[in-house]
Structure 1
Amino acid sequence: MFGTATWSQLNANVALILVFNLLWSATRTLWETGNISALIFLLEDRHKSYVGFAASVEGITQLVVAIPGGMLADRWRRDTVLRLAACLSVASLLFTAYAVHACDLTLVYMAMAAWGASYALNDAPMEALFADSTPTGLRADIFVAKFVLMQVGRGIGSAVIALLFLVFGDVWEIHELQQVLYVGLALTVIPAVMQAFVSDDRSLNAESEATLSAGSVPLLSAGTKGHSNIVDPPRLDRWVVTFVPATLAISDLMTALGAGATVKFFPLFFIEEFDMKPVEIGVIFAITPFACSLSSLGSAWVARRFGRINAIIIAHMTGTVLLVVFAACTTVTLAVFVFILRAATMNSFKPLKRSVLMDIIPKKSRGTWNSLESVTIFSWTGSAAIGGIVVDQWGYRTCFLATAALYAISCLPIMALSYWNLDRHLDISKPAAADPIAEP
C-alpha cells in the first residue's frame, strides 16, 4: 500500500498516528456513532430534531476552538496542543459517562460541547504533524493507508456493538444503550492518552515540504498527443497555490451541508422504516467501513490512471446518484445494499483530497488550513439540526433527496478545477518534458 515504503521505514509519528486513528475510530464508534443519537432519540420521545441539536452543539464548540487551536499549532509546538487535547479528551470521557448515567439531556449536550473542543484541539495539529512527518512523494499512499485503518477501526467498533447488544439485550432500550456506551467510553481512554506521545522533534524537514508535482500520484492524468497536464513548479504561481485549496474547501463546505442533514439519521431510518434491531444495524455498520476501505484503494488506482482530481469527480458523482437510488428503496435488502455501496463510494476520495491539499499547502500553514476544516464541520452539524426538522416534518426520503442535490452542486467546483487545470492554466502548446510520474 505504501509503494516503496515499508512499516520499518515509516516515521515514528506516522506509525503512532496510524495506530491512533485505528483505535480512535474503533472506540468512538462504540459510543458516538449511532448509540448516543439513539439514547437522545429515546430520551426525547423519538423526536429527531433533538439528535440534530446535539450535533450542532458539538459543532459550534468545535468551530469556536479549532481556528485559534490551529493557529497555535502553527505558531507554537503541535505536540503541546495535542497534550492539551489528550487532557481534555479524558475529562470529556468522564463527563460523558456521568451524563449517560444521569440520563439528562442537558448534561449530554454539555458533554457534546466538551467533545467539540477536544476534537478541535486534536484535529488540526494531528493532521498537520502527520503531513509534516510524511515524505511528499509518498503522501497519497500513506493518506489512503490512514483512511483504510480508520475504516477498519469503525468496522471493528460496529462489530463489537453487535456483540455487546447480543450480550446485554437486542432491544432499543435506555438501559441496554447505557451498557454499550460505558464500554465504549472506557476503551476510548487508550487512544485519548496516545495523543500526548507524538512529537514535533520527530517530524521531517524539507522532504515533507509542499510541492505540487512531487507526489507519486498526479493531480490530473497525462495529456494527449504528448502533452502533460501535470502542474509543475516552473509553471506554478502563487495564485494556483491559493486557488486549489480554496476550491476544494468550497466543495467540502457544500458537501458537508448535505451530509450533515442525513448522516446522523441513517440508523434512525433503518429503525423506523424497516424495524431493525440493534444487532442488525451493528452488522450493517460493521460491513460498511470495510467496503469504504476497498473503495478507497479502488479510487487510488483510478487516481493513478486518470489523476486525483478526476478520481474525486468520478467517485463524488457516483455516490450522489446512489443516494437518489437509496431514497427510492422500499425493500430492506436493496436499501442495505445501496446504503453500503453509496457510503463506500462517497468516502473513497477523502484521502485523495487530503493528499492534494497537503501536497500544496506549505508546512508553516498546515495547522491553520486544517483548522479551517472546522468551518466545514460546523456546517455539517448546523445542517444536522436542519435535517432533524426536515425529517420530522417531511420524512427521511425528502431529506436524502435534498442532500443528493447539494452533493451534485458541491461537485461543480472540482469540475471547474479540473477544467481550469487542463485548458486554461497550462501552456499545452508545447510538449512537456518526459515525466516519470505521468501515466503513459
Structure 2
Amino acid sequence: MEGPAGGWAAWWRGMNTNVRWALLQAAGAGVADSVWTTTVVSSFLYVLADKSNTAVGAIEAVQGMTTLLIALPMGMVADRWSKAGVIRIGGVFAILATLCMSTVVVLASDKEEEGANSASVKRLLFAFGGCACLWGVTDAVTQGPVPALFADSLPTGNRSRWYTYGFIANMAARTVGPAVSIAMFCICGDEWTLPEIRTVFLAGMAAELLLSAPTFFFFDDSKALGSEAAPLTESLLADLEGAEGDDEAPHDDGRVIFGRYCVGRFLNIKPRHIPYIMFCKDVLVAFGSGMTVKFFPLFWKEEVGLSPAEVQGIYLLVPIAIASFSGVGVIAAKRIGRVFTMLAVRASGLSCLVLMVILRQRVHPIILIGLYLMRTGLMNSTYPLEESVLMDFVPSKSRARWKSLQSVTAFGWCGSAAVGGWLGDRHGYAFTFLITAALQGLGSSLIILIAHLVPLEVETKDVEESGDGPQSPKSKDGRRQHRQEKGHWDGHSYTSVPSDLTDDEFFNKTGAWDAEPHISFPHLFSPSAENSAAGDSDDEYLLMEGDPSLMERSPRSSMDEGDVGGAEL
C-alpha cells in the first residue's frame, strides 16, 4: 500500500499534537482496559461475592453514578478554563485508581472461601466501590475533554476518517489484552478462581500505569485549530436555521435515501435539535447495553460452560470484528448517508442478539460465538459516524460540555448494570438480553428524525499543525484553485449562486471558505430573487457537488447532464 507523501514517519511527526496523543491514548487504553475490564473484573467480583450478579451490577452502578455527578461540571470547567488542564487532572485520578485497585485485588485474592456475608469480604466490596468512584472520575475526562479537544484539532469534514483511525487504534490494541490473558491463564491455571484471576487483574493494572495514564499529560490547548474545526460551516447552519419561516425550506442532501419525506422533516426538526436527539439516543442505547455488557462473560462461563482462556479467546476476536465493521460503515456512509448506515447496521446487530437468545440451547457454542461477534462488531462500529455527526453540529466552545453530558450515558450504562444483575439473578441472562434488544432498538430508531439534516461528508487529506500554506483553502490562491477545477453533477441537482459575487462573497456564501472539506447541501441556495426579476438567470453559476477540490463556476446555459456525467457518490 502506498504511504503518505514524505513517508509514514514524516506524516506522524507532522500530525497535530492533540490528534497524535489522542490516538496514543486510544491505543494505550485499549491495551490496558482489554486485560482487565472485559472479563476479569466481572469474574473476580462474581467469585468474591459468592456468585452474585447483583454485587457486580451494584459496583458498576457506583462507577456510573460518579461519572454522572462529575462529568458535566468537569466539562464546563474544561470549556471555560482549559481542556488540557482538566485532562491532566484526569491523569492524576487514573494513577490513584490504578494503585488503589491493585491494593484491593491483592487483599481480596485469598477470601474466596469466606463467602459474601463475611465482614472482611463486605469491606473489600466497599473498597472496590471506592476504586470504582476513582475510575468514574477518570471516565468523565476520557469521555468529555479528551474527545472535545480531539475534535477541536480536526478540520471540519475530516472527522469521520480520524474518528475511525482512533477507533481502529483502540480496537486493534484491544486484541493485545485477551492474548496476554490467554497466555497467563494457560500458565497459571485455566480456572475461575481468585488467585488465577488476580494475576491477570494485576497485569491489567500495570498496563494502565505504564501505557494509559502517561498520555493524559501531553495535550495542548494551543494546538487546537480554531475556525478550521468549526461545526460544519457556520454559514450553512445559519442558512438552515434562517429558513425556519420560509415557504420553501432548504433541502437535505439529495443522496440521503427518502430524506425529503422523512419523519424529521414532518416534525420540523432543525439542526440545533441534533445534539439533543443524539443524546436521547445514547441514553436509551447505553441503558440497554449496561444490562448485558458486564454479564456476557458470565453468560459464557455459567450457561455455555467455557473456560477463562476460551472466554478471553472470544474477546480477542471482538475488537477485530468491531474494527472491520467500522471501516465498512464509513464506506457505506459515503453512498447512502451516515444516518441510514447507522440504522441498517444497528438493525442487523440487534437481529443477531435476538437470534442468540432463540438459539442458545439449540446450536453448538461456535454458532453462538459467531452471532455474538457479529452483534458486537455491528453495534459498536457506528461510533465514528455518530461522533462525526455530533461534532459537526456542536460549536467548539461547547464541545467539552456536550461530550461530558454524553457521559451521563455512562450512568445509563452502569446504572442499568445494577438492574441487569438483579434481573439476571431472578430471570436469567436470556430475559435480560431481550430487554436490551428492545431498548437499543428504540434508541437507535430516534436518529431517523435527523436524516434530512445530516449531509454526506467530504474529507481533507491531512491533519497538520498549520493549514495556511500557499494552497490552503483559506488563502486567496487556494480558493481560486477550488473554483477553477472541473466539477461534478451529483445525479440529482446543482446549487445556483449569482455570478456577480466577489471572491470572498462567493466562498463565504457557499461555505467553501471555511476549510478544504466542504460539506455539501444540494438545493441549499436558490437563485436570488433580484437577479431572477432582472432576467439575469443566464448569468448564474453552478456550484458543483462532489469532491470539494472539483468545483468551477460555469454558465447554466453551457451545462448539460450528458456533458458532465454522473458523480461517483
Q: TM-score, normalised by structure 2?
A: 0.71
Residue number in structure 2 paired with 1:291: 321
Residues 253 and 454 in structure 2, CA contact (< 8 A), matched pair in contact too? no
Q: Which residue identity is paired with 1:435?
A: E
Q: Which 5+ residue runs of structure 1 have no aligned equivalent?
A: 230-237
Aligned match for 2:28, one of 13, 23, 32: 23
Q: Is 1:435 equivalent to 2:545 in the alignment?
A: yes
Distance 1:214 1:354, change over 3 A: farther
Between the aligned partners of 1:224 and 1:242, the Cα distance in structure 2 is 20
Aligned match for 1:340, one of 359, 363, 373: 373
Residue 317 of structure 1, CA deviation: 1.0
Q: Is 1:57 equivalent to 2:58 in the alignment?
A: no
Residue number in structure 2 paired with 1:370: 403
Q: Which residue identity is paired with 2:546?
A: P
Residue number in structure 2 paired with 1:183: 203
Aligned match for 1:270, one of 284, 287, 300: 300
Between the aligned partners of 1:258 and 1:349, the Cα distance in structure 2 is 16
Residue 256 of structure 1, CA deviation: 0.7
Residue number in structure 2 paired with 1:234: none
Q: Which 5+ residue runs of structure 2 have no aligned equivalent?
A: 6-10, 109-123, 237-250, 261-267, 456-520, 528-541, 548-566
Residues 165 and 278 in structure 1, CA contact (< 8 A), matched pair in contact too? yes
- Cα distance per residue 1:194-215 (max 9 Å; x no partner): 1011111222121111116999
Distance 1:160 1:433, change over 3 A: same
Q: TM-score, normalised by structure 1?
A: 0.90
Residues 255 and 335 in structure 2, CA contact (< 8 A), matched pair in contact too? no
Residue number in structure 2 paired with 1:99: 104
Residue 107 of structure 1, CA deviation: 0.8
Distance 1:407 1:77, change over 3 A: same
Q: Which residue identity is paired with 1:279?
A: A
Between the aligned partners of 1:334 and 1:284, the Cα distance in structure 2 is 12
Residue 20 of structure 1, CA deviation: 1.1
Residue number in structure 1 paired with 2:136: 116
- Cα distance per residue 1:38-69 (max 9 Å; x no partner): 11100111111111111100000011111100
- Cα distance per residue 1:153-208 (max 9 Å; x no partner): 21211111111111211111000111111111012112112101111122212111
Aligned residues: 426
The higher-RCO structure (CA 8 Å, 6+ apart) is 1
Residue number in structure 2 paired with 1:174: 194
Q: Is 1:10 equivalent to 2:53 in the alignment?
A: no
SS in 1 for 2:425: helix
User: How is 1:306-345 mapped onto 2 (pairs within 5 angstroms)?
Assistant: 306-329=336-359, 330=361, 331-345=364-378
Q: Is 1:198 equivalent to 2:251 in the alignment?
A: no
The structure with the greater share of residues assigned to helix is: 1
Distance 1:439 1:54, change over 3 A: farther
SS in 1 for 2:34: helix
Aligned match for 2:163, one of 143, 160, 163: 143
Residue 416 of structure 1, CA deviation: 2.3
Q: Which residue identity is paired with 2:30?
A: S
Residue 352 of structure 1, CA deviation: 0.5
Residues 140 and 351 in structure 1, CA contact (< 8 A), matched pair in contact too? yes
- Cα distance per residue 1:347-384 (max 9 Å; x no partner): 11111000111111110000000000111111111111
Which stretch has the larger CA shift, 147-156 or 341-350?
147-156
Distance 1:326 1:203, change over 3 A: same
Distance 1:413 1:426, change over 3 A: farther
Q: What is the CA RMSD across the aligned residues, in angstroms? A: 2.9
SS in 2 for 1:136: coil
Distance 1:3 1:292, change over 3 A: farther
Aligned match for 1:67, one of 63, 72, 75: 72
Between the aligned partners of 1:323 and 1:23, the Cα distance in structure 2 is 30
Q: Which residue identity is paired with 1:338?
A: L
Q: Is 1:247 equivalent to 2:277 in the alignment?
A: yes
Structure number, greater radius of gyration: 2
Aligned match for 2:290, one of 260, 269, 280: 260
Residue 427 of structure 1, CA deviation: 6.5
Between the aligned partners of 2:390 and 2:447, the Cα distance in structure 1 is 13
Q: Which residue identity is paired with 2:159?
A: R
Q: Which residue identity is paired with 2:193?
A: E
Q: Which residue identity is paired with 1:185?
A: M
Q: Which residue identity is paired with 1:368?
A: R
Which contiguous aligned blocks of 4+ residues in structure 1 show a shift greater than 6 angstroms?
1-5, 425-432
SS in 2 for 1:182: helix
Residue 430 of structure 1, CA deviation: 6.8
Residue number in structure 1 paired with 2:539: none
Residue number in structure 1 paired with 2:417: 384
Distance 1:220 1:144, change over 3 A: farther
Distance 1:73 1:224, change over 3 A: closer
Residues 158 and 286 in structure 1, CA contact (< 8 A), matched pair in contact too? yes
Between the aligned partners of 2:279 and 2:432, the Cα distance in structure 1 is 23
SS in 2 for 1:188: helix
Residue 279 of structure 1, CA deviation: 0.6
